[in-house]
Amino acid sequence: MLLFMSLVFFGLLVLGTPIGFALGITAVVSLAKMSGVSELPVLLNPGSDVFIFKMVSQRFYAGLDMFTLMAMPFFIFAGAIMNKTGITHRLVKFSNVLVGHLRGGLAHANIVASIFFAGMTGAAVSDTAAIGTMLIPAMVEDGYDKDFSAAVTAASSIIGPTIPPSNMMVIYGSLMSVSIAGLFAAGFLPGLLLGLFLMLLSGYISMKRGYPKSARSSLKEILIATKDATIPLLMPIIILGGILTGMFTPTEAAAVAVGYAFIIGFFVLRTLQLRDIPELLYQTGKTTGVVFLIIGSASIIGWILTMERVPEAVAAAFLTVSDNPHIILLLILLLMLVVGMFMDIAAALIILGPILHPIAVNNLGIHPIHFGIIMVLSLNIALMTPPVGACLFVACGISKLTLEQLSKAIWPFIVVEVIVLFIIAYWADLVLLVPRLLGLG
């Protein structure tokens, strides 16, 4: 059954079928095969009493019937408002004041801005679009190679879904019954470590190529930039502080984020107009609809795999290779990296999560929060890897580079991020330090 589903799914992708529909069609065809329905008219007849239609609708609804998933559209809407209000410009300016005097200053500012931006949207593609639109042309004008400018933008945007709030963590926590607050707390240090390694690589490349650096900012410039950045930087503090202190749930925190973003944009900065809201709601609905279609369809696939006892078979296959937990974890990491290169990361998380989570927790003894961070980061890296990395396509659109040109430039960053992934995977105490300090790990 697993081979059959893989052939159908990847065949649909080759034909250009959108990922959500490809998953749904694969689910229906697989259920038909399981039930023995071989006649197409029976399968397509809405009036037929075949259990397939009932099962598809029930499992699709069950895959979305989780209160915590309501946080996603709220966080998406909050991010859209923050982008519209011009917050990105303030964060970039503040980042440049902090690190612009280093060799390759704008590259470092790009990475630091992604760290700050992560605390507001948690979306890598939004990060690439918002920061890339500003910094890629600015870096090229300042003497940086265009492919390097686009590569560092796409690579640093992966920090977005790693530092909370993170939609990927919301999905994982909802499906695996893992504390979302714990996942949010665990994402801080891995995200900062990722930023540090990217800055080290960017500094090395900048020194090798002779990229420029800015003059050190004066105290007045630092104070002005800090003042301008205070308002947007309060948002993640309010959101995460409220979640980690138990004042509100992640879903309620997402609603608070929308309220805060609206107040700041409409009353404080006055860059948001009421006429902008319908368009922002439309963008939010479109993005949410695509994500929820993938989640609902993938949940059917996950249920079929469970019914076919695929998790047990995969676990047995891993355990036959080796009984060394480190070797098995290595195989899991490689599997997620490869799958992420060819599949939407939300779908990969929903399908692989129920399969790999029991293996990691029950057989390898990995903490559920730790493994959640491993899955999120490994699949996030897929956003910047060819051939289907979403951040690559956004960066290509901004820089006017071809996918081949950007793919060549981004490989050093991919290697560095994979190194960080392995550090995080095999150093559990680093990931669990903050959750344990807060009593969540």
Q: pLDDT per residue over 324-382, tens digit each?
A: 889 999 999 988 888 887 777 777 888 888 888 988 998 889 999 999 999 999 988 88
Residue 40 pLDDT > 70, yes or no? no
Q: pLDDT per residue over 104-161, tens digit each?
A: 888 999 999 888 877 666 677 777 877 888 888 888 988 999 999 999 999 998 888 8
Taking alpha carbons only, the member of 111, 120, 207 closest to residue 159 is: 111
d(CA 282, CA 38) in angstroms, rounded, equals 41
Average confidence score pLDDT of the chain: 83
- The answer to whether residues 396 and 355 touch, using CB atoms and an 8 Å cutoff, is no
Q: pLDDT per residue over 377-430, tens digit each?
A: 998 888 888 776 778 888 888 888 888 888 899 999 999 999 999 999 999 999
In sequence order, what are the residues at sequence separation of 6 or more whose Cβ sits closer than 8 angstroms to the Cβ of residue 42? 48, 50
Residue environment code for 288-307, b if the CB has 16+ CB neighbours within 10 A, otherwise e? beebbbbbbbbbbbbbbbee
Taking alpha carbons only, the member of 409, 362, 363 closest to residue 384 is: 409
- Identify which has the larger pLDDT, 343 or 49: 343
Max intra-chain CA distance, the chain: 76
| Euclidean distance between the first and the last CA atom of the chain, given in angstroms as a whole number | 38
Residue percentage of the chain with pLDDT more than 70:
93
- Identify which has the larger pLDDT, 13 or 194: 194
Which range, 83-87, 122-126, 137-141, 232-236, is most confident?
137-141
- The 3-state DSSP class for residue 353 equals helix
CB atoms within 10 A of CB 401: 21
- The pLDDT value recorded for residue 183 is 92
